[in-house]
Structure 1
Amino acid sequence: MTIKVVYFARYRELLGTDGEVLVGAFACIEDVRQALLDKGERYAVLAEKNLMCARNQDLCKPDEALEDGDEVAFFPPVTGG
C-alpha cells in the first residue's frame, strides 16, 4: 500500500518537509503515525495527544481506515478566538 503523507503548520516546520510517501501495510491512520514515530526522534512531534488528521482532505479520527493511494494529513490543533 502506498500512502502520501502531508504535514501542515508547525509539523511541517519541525519536520523540515511538507510531506513524503510511505509504502507498507497500513490499516488505519494510527498505523501510519506509528510507522513515522518508529523512524526516529525527528518524528516525536507526531506523538502529541491532540494531533489532528485528515484522510483525502476530510477531517477524521486516527482509527480511520485507509486504502491504497490515500492522502493522510497531520496538523496541530487549531484554535480560534
Structure 2
Amino acid sequence: MSITVKLRFFASLREKLGEGEAMALPESSTVAAAREALMARGGAHAEALARGRAVRAALNQKMCAESAPLSDGDELAFFPPVTGG
C-alpha cells in the first residue's frame, strides 16, 4: 500500500523546485524517505536537497525530525534554515 503526501517548498528551494506537488510513498515512510526519493530524481532535486545542504522540514506545519513518520494526506514542507541579520 502507499500513502500520498503534499510537498511544499519554500524560499530558495521553491525557486529551484517549484511550489510543491503530491507524492506517493510506501506506507510507513518517514520524512527522510521522502527526501531520499526526491534526491533520487537527480537534477535540481538532488542538488537542492543533497545531504550536505542544510534543509529543514515541517510536518503539518510543525517542525520535525527526519525520523518523523508520514501518514496519508500529510503536508510536508522543506525549506532552508532562516538566517537573521
Please indicate, yes or no, whether the TM-score normalized by the shorter chain is above 0.5.
Answer: yes
- Counterpart residue type for residue 42 of structure 1: A
> Which residue of structure 2 aligns with residue 30 of structure 1?
32
How many residues are paired up?
Answer: 80
| CA deviation string 1:42-67 (max 9, x = no partner) | 10211143210000000111111111
SS of the aligned residue for 2:53 comes to coil
| CA deviation string 1:54-81 (max 9, x = no partner) | 0000011111111111010000011123
- Counterpart residue type for residue 74 of structure 1: F
- Pairing 1:1-81 to 2, within 5 Å after superposition: 1-15=3-17, 17-25=18-26, 27-43=29-45, 44-47=47-50, 48-81=52-85
- Counterpart residue type for residue 82 of structure 2: V
Task: Give the TM-score normalised by structure 2.
Answer: 0.87
How much identity, in percent, do the aligned residues show? 41
SS of the aligned residue for 2:49 comes to helix
| CA deviation string 1:26-57 (max 9, x = no partner) | 52100000000011111021114321000000
- Counterpart residue type for residue 62 of structure 1: E
Counterpart Cα distance in 1 of 2:10 and 2:53: 16
